[in-house]
């Protein structure tokens, strides 16, 4: 603690700064009068001068985000750096909780919902579940529990016990009648234990574009966490694939906010249906691994709302229990110390009722509690340090009124309320995970796998994208001979868990990336094993060559085969592990292990060369993609336990490919609008400026007329589909008079109000239009199509040319015609107005297209608004 003289001086300074700064602030009206707003104490010149809050976002004062210049950014070795993180002065910070938004349930559109009983799975988003009653009941119970808690007890609810001081990666201790919490990775499986499933990665789930499968994956994953006694699953991950080389992109759901938001929404509904608390992470702008704790992601307000915050908005609408703030700075303030993003956007604007935890070691200050941080994880300042910013320090701050006891009550209430909200007070299983003692028999006490292998295989197959299929090279039909080439076809040399956290150069099939987002494989089916099994049925001769480096041998082995299948991969992960010079992020976008040369060597000798790619993200495949002997390309992403079987299902047609790309595959790495920012000294804080604004991934390619190799949303099938008979139908729904007034305001060009829950309000998200159309299977086999709806705003709106705002899936037999439906809300047609700080309808004609990808439009229409 500072001495009284210095503290008194700081108090005087902060009041003067506050008086000066609140007179001309775009965001000054964004914080409700019931909640305290922090002053700006920054002296840095990199933050926007148009906003005066310490933690606010830079603002574009015009209504349109300008189109970036055609020159793309490049990987930097000498970079701009920040003057230093903005910090909180010692002061007395009063607190008043944000009012809880309330609205009577309006079934079937707005049904009262318990997280254990979510809305039924559909092929489209047309229900807005109302979790408010469940949260209200949980809050009442939590407030009763803490009523007689001491300050120390309430602080203990907020403070992890420290790294490696409990069974789980994160642990909240028992306090009185509260049994504590077990928090455990990862987004694709229960980490650090036995007898669990390695599910397909998030990027593979997103590639299915199938809500039912994404929901089912979430439910099965949650059931395994529940069986192991884990209270809080640390997923899903929903950072955007802004940088194609980003190390943890594979944990997330791709490069589009709508697709990512829908995948996050369905995953959370599934996870929490199982009874565990889901965690939306990493909030926010953690899009690269290099210097992730020493970089400031500098993002304008509109881009933040429309791109990077959207998946978290959808998470709140899914009733998520927890949000994890990230390591990086956002506009010069650490994310876990950032009032604007934690309190104003998440808790006020989105009406989030759960709690915010830090990433492990991401708490930077005791006064992060004032910014909106509710729980520090793992509890230590640095992992294993035995020190903490919360604990005794937070107790002292509360006792001397630096942090209001009302704020501490709010923190403890949110954490305990989430426990009640998920009914974890009712016979929850004991923890059977020991994260730091792998040979403890406790890890083998419960087998959580069930029959989830079947779902893993299905999701991995559905998430596989067929990129090329010349002359109907696929599906295979009892070929006489096959040669498998490349180490990615093989089982790993030393077993599937040959590296801790998968952090090493893969010696076999790549089925997940590396880092904390992993789990142990109980088993792993490689393509070699799966194809051998199929070859026995077909009496096919199979040979193989797993040596990527002997190109002459690989070419010679391919000569006699009827089919040559080359398997290549590309890996990445979290920055605490470096693999072959890749510090989490990928150094480049080329295949590992000389993959390009391997394909060319085989294709030179075999005129039916099929390439299978297991990759964490996009690759530049120009060296061989147009080779006349490369007849098919199968993009298999990361398939989990059943990776090999899923690939065989695609190759032989047991599953007709229906996957679609969740990102753009470019012809050149420089075509992407954002690159890794490298360089910097050990003490530098890098500036990462999101100068592309709204023009992420395909939006940039469209705006700049750059031809990609394969566009976002692209994917082939073994059959063909035709679209027809487009109909747009307005949807009338009953709402109360207050909602009617807001609707009328929006229709007249007004923006959503600055209020609690304003961005998640029913009137904004309830279905407005139903778009129906026919899809006919005009090909020879049963198959599934993924129709996609892209909105085209008027030029004055300053939006990219096409924006994904809907998708569905439909399965048809040959000759069958089915009707598909996509619903659109007012939110889907709105843009963020930085001046009015709300969602508004652009002035002009809003068109849309429906098609098979972001560049393959089949039907076009206009919304009558």
What are the C-alpha distances in Å from 227 to residues 163, 182, 454, 516, 575? 23, 13, 18, 20, 30
Return the pLDDT at 739: 87
Domain CATH for 609: 3.40.50.1700
Q: Which residue has the higher pLDDT, 409 or 62?
A: 409
Same domain for 489 and 558? yes
Q: Which residue has the higher pLDDT, 92 or 153?
A: 153
Same domain for 638 and 515? yes
Give per-residue pLDDT as tens, 691-712.
999 999 999 999 999 999 999 9
Other residues' Cβ atoms within 10 Å of the Cβ of residue 406: 13
Q: What is the dihedral of CA 411, 412, 413, 415, to 10 degrees?
A: 90
Same domain for 480 and 599? yes
| 177 burial level (CB within 10 Å; 0-12, 13-18, 19+) | exposed
670-674 long-range Cβ contacts below 8 angstroms, 24+ apart: 670/72, 670/74, 671/72, 671/701, 671/706, 671/708, 672/72, 672/243, 672/244, 672/697, 672/700, 673/68, 673/72, 673/73, 673/697, 673/700, 674/72, 674/73, 674/242, 674/243, 674/287
Same domain for 729 and 857? yes
Measure the CA–CA gap between 770 and 791, rounded to whole angstroms. 14
Give per-residue pLDDT as tens, 707-755.
999 999 999 999 999 999 999 999 987 777 778 999 999 999 999 999 9
Q: What percent of the chain is modeled with pLDDT above 70?
A: 91
| Closest C-alpha to 264, from 230, 216, 312 | 312
Measure the CA–CA gap between 838 and 840, rounded to whole angstroms. 6
What are the C-alpha distances in Å from 400 to residues 13, 181, 677? 19, 29, 43
Q: How far is CA 628 from the centre of its chain?
A: 37
Where does a domain end: 626, 643, 661?
661
Do 85 and 364 meet the contact criterion of CB atoms below 8 Å apart? yes
Mean of per-residue pLDDT scores for the chain: 91
pLDDT surpasses 70 at 5: no
Return the pLDDT at 36: 40
Mean pLDDT of 258-282: 98
Give per-residue pLDDT as tens, 185-236.
999 999 999 999 999 999 999 999 999 999 999 999 999 999 999 999 999 9
Return the pLDDT at 98: 85
| Closest C-alpha to 841, from 764, 759, 747 | 747
What are the C-alpha distances in Å from 338 to residues 86, 235, 326, 329, 413? 9, 21, 11, 8, 21
- Ranking 10-19, 97-106, 602-611 by mean pLDDT, the lowest is 10-19
What are the C-alpha distances in Å from 292 to residues 84, 286, 427, 490, 766? 15, 7, 40, 34, 37
Return the pLDDT at 614: 98
Predicted confidence band of residue 37 (pLDDT cuts 50, 70, 90): very low
Return the pLDDT at 84: 76
Same domain for 636 and 777? no
Return the pLDDT at 99: 81
354 falls within a domain: no
Parent domain of 641: 452-661
| Closest C-alpha to 86, from 21, 144, 32, 143 | 21
Q: Which residue has the higher pLDDT, 478 or 21?
A: 478
Measure the CA–CA gap between 115 and 132, rounded to whole angstroms. 11
Where does a domain end: 613, 645, 661?
661
- Ranking 66-75, 94-103, 248-257, 339-348 by mean pLDDT, the lowest is 66-75
359 falls within a domain: no
Q: Tell me which residue has tokens 């369905």.
A: 266
Q: How far is CA 384 from the centre of its chain?
A: 28
Do 819 and 857 meet the contact criterion of CB atoms below 8 Å apart? no
Return the pLDDT at 751: 97
75: Cβ contacts below 8 Å, ≥ 6 apart: 675, 676, 677, 678
Domain CATH for 739: 2.60.40.10
62-67 long-range Cβ contacts below 8 angstroms, 24+ apart: 62/798, 63/796, 63/797, 63/798, 63/833, 63/834, 63/835, 64/796, 64/797, 64/798, 64/799, 65/300, 65/302, 65/303, 65/693, 65/694, 65/798, 65/799, 66/693, 66/798, 67/695, 67/703, 67/798
Measure the CA–CA gap between 452 and 224, rounded to whole angstroms. 9
787 falls within a domain: yes
Return the pLDDT at 737: 72
Q: Is the dihedral of CA 12, 17, 18, 20 positive or negative?
A: positive
Same domain for 657 and 769? no
Where does a domain end: 642, 661, 680?
661
Measure the CA–CA gap between 165 and 380, rounded to whole angstroms. 10
DSSP characters over 490-536: SPPTT-TT-SGGG-S--SS---S-BSTT----S----HHHHHHHHHH
385: Cβ contacts below 8 Å, ≥ 6 apart: none
- Polymer length of the chain: 865
Q: Tell me which residue has tokens 């015609």.
A: 817
544 falls within a domain: yes
81 falls within a domain: no
Q: What percent of the chain is modeled with pLDDT above 90?
A: 86
Secondary structure string (H, E, C) spanning 480-492: CEEEEECHHHCCC
Return the pLDDT at 692: 98
What are the C-alpha distances in Å from 367 to residues 88, 90, 144, 285? 7, 8, 26, 21
Give per-residue pLDDT as tens, 633-690.
999 999 999 999 999 999 999 999 999 999 999 999 999 999 999 999 999 999 999 9
678 falls within a domain: no
135 membership: H or E segment, kind and range: helix 132-146
Same domain for 503 and 652? yes
557: Cβ contacts below 8 Å, ≥ 6 apart: 483, 485, 543, 545
Instruction: Please identify which of the residues 194, 344, 359, 434 carries the catalytic annotation.
Output: 359
Give per-residue pLDDT as tens, 290-342.
999 999 999 999 999 999 999 999 999 999 999 999 999 999 999 999 999 99
Overall domain count for the chain: 2
Measure the CA–CA gap between 276 and 234, rounded to whole angstroms. 10
49 falls within a domain: no
Same domain for 656 and 742? no
* DSSP letter assigned to residue 595: H
Same domain for 650 and 741? no
Same domain for 753 and 638? no
Same domain for 723 and 851? yes
473 falls within a domain: yes
Predicted confidence band of residue 450 (pLDDT cuts 50, 70, 90): very high
* DSSP letter assigned to residue 718: S
Measure the CA–CA gap between 858 and 442, rounded to whole angstroms. 56
Give per-residue pLDDT as tens, 408-446.
999 999 999 999 999 999 999 999 999 999 999 999 999
Predicted confidence band of residue 60 (pLDDT cuts 50, 70, 90): very low
Same domain for 631 and 745? no
Residue 454 falls in which region: left (phi positive, over 0), alpha (psi -120 to 50) or beta: alpha
- Ranking 81-90, 461-470, 570-579 by mean pLDDT, the lowest is 81-90
The verdict on whether 571 is a catalytic residue reads: no
* DSSP letter assigned to residue 248: T
pLDDT surpasses 50 at 15: no
């Amino acid at each position: 603690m500072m001495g009284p003289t210095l503290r008194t001086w700081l108090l005087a300074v902060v009041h003067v700064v506050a008086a000066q700064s609140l007179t001309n602030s775009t965001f000054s009206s964004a914080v409700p009068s019931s909640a305290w707003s922090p002053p700006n104490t920054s002296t840095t010149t990199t933050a926007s001068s148009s906003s005066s809050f310490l933690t606010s976002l830079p603002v574009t004062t015009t209504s349109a985000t300008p189109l970036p210049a055609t020159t793309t950014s490049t990987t930097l070795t000498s970079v701009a750096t920040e003057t230093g993180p903005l910090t909180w002065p010692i002061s007395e910070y009063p607190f008043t909780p944000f009012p809880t938004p309330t609205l009577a349930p309006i079934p079937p559109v707005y049904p009262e919902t318990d997280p254990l009983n979510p809305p039924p799975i559909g092929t489209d988003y047309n229900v807005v579940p109302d979790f408010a009653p469940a949260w209200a009941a949980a809050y009442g119970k939590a407030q009763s529990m803490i009523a007689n808690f001491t300050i120390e007890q309430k602080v203990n609810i907020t403070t992890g016990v420290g790294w490696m001081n409990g069974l789980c990666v994160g642990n909240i201790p028992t306090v009185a009648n509260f049994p504590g919490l077990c928090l455990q990775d990862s987004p694709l499986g229960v980490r650090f234990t036995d007898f669990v499933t390695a599910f397909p990665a998030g990027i593979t789930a997103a590639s299915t574009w199938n809500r039912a499968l994404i929901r089912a994956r979430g439910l099965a994953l949650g059931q395994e966490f529940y069986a192991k006694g884990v209270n809080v699953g640390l997923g899903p991950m929903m950072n955007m694939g802004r940088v194609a080389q980003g190390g943890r992109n594979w944990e997330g759901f791709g490069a589009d906010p709508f697709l990512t938001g829908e995948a996050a929404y369905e995953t959370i509904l599934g996870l929490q249906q199982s009874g565990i608390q889901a965690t939306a992470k990493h909030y926010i702008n953690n899009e690269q691994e290099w210097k992730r704790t020493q970089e400031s992601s500098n993002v304008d307000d509109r881009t933040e709302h429309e791109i990077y915050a959207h998946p978290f908005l959808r998470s709140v609408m899914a009733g998520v229990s927890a949000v994890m703030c990230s390591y990086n700075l956002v506009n010069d303030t650490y994310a876990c110390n950032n009032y604007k993003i934690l309190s104003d956007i998440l808790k006020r604007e989105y009406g989030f009722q759960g709690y915010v935890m830090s990433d492990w070691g991401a708490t930077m200050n005791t006064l992060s509690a004032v910014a909106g941080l509710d729980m520090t994880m793992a509890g230590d300042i640095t992992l294993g340090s035995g020190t903490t910013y919360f604990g005794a320090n937070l107790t002292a701050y509360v006792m001397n009124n630096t942090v209001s006891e009302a704020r501490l009550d709010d923190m403890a209430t949110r954490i305990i309320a989430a426990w009640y909200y998920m009914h974890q007070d009712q016979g929850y299983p004991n923890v059977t995970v020991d994260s730091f003692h792998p040979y403890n028999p406790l890890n083998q006490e419960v087998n959580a796998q069930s029959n989830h292998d079947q779902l893993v295989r299905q999701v991995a197959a559905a998430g596989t994208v067929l990129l090329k299929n010349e002359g109907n090279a696929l599906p295979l039909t009892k070929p006489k001979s096959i040669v498998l080439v490349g180490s990615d076809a093989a089982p790993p040399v030393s077993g599937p868990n040959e590296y801790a956290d998968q952090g090493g150069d893969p010696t076999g099939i790549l089925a997940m990336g590396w880092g904390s987002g992993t789990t142990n494989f109980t088993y792993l089916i490689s393509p070699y094993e799966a194809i051998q099994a199929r070859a026995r049925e077909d009496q096919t001769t199979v040979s193989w060559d797993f040596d990527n480096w002997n190109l002459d041998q690989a070419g010679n082995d391919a000569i006699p085969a009827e089919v040559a299948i080359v398997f290549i991969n590309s890996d990445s992960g979290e920055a605490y592990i470096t693999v072959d010079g890749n510090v989490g992020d990928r150094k480049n976008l080329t295949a590992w292990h000389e993959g390009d040369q391997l394909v060319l060597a085989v294709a030179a000798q075999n005129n039916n060369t099929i390439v299978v790619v297991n990759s964490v993200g996009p690759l530049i495949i120009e060296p061989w993609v147009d080779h006349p002997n490369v007849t098919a390309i199968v993009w298999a992403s990361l398939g989990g336990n059943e990776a090999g079987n899923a690939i065989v299902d695609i190759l032989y047609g047991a599953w007709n490919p229906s996957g679609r790309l969740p990102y753009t595959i470019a012809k050149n790495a420089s075509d992407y609008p954002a690159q890794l920012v490298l360089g910097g000294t050990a003490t530098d804080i890098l500036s990462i400026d999101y100068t592309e604004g709204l023009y992420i991934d395909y939006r940039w390619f469209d705006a700049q007329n750059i031809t990609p190799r394969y566009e976002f949303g692209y994917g082939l099938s073994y059959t063909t589909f035709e679209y027809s008979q487009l109909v747009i139908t307005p949807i009338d729904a009953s709402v109360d008079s207050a909602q009617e007034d807001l609707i009328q305001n929006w229709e007249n060009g007004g923006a959503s109000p600055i209020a609690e829950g304003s961005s998640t309000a029913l009137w904004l998200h309830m279905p407005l239009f139903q778009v129906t159309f026919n899809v006919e299977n005009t090909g020879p086999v049963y198959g599934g199509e993924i129709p996609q709806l892209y909105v085209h705003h008027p030029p004055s709106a300053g939006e990219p040319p096409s924006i994904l705002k809907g998708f569905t899936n439909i399965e048809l037999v040959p000759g069958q015609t089915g009707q598909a439906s996509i619903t659109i809300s007012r939110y889907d047609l709105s843009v963020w107005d930085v001046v009015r700080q709300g969602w508004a309808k652009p002035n002009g004609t809003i068109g849309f297209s429906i098609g098979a990808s972001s560049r393959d439009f089949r039907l076009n229409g206009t919304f009558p608004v």
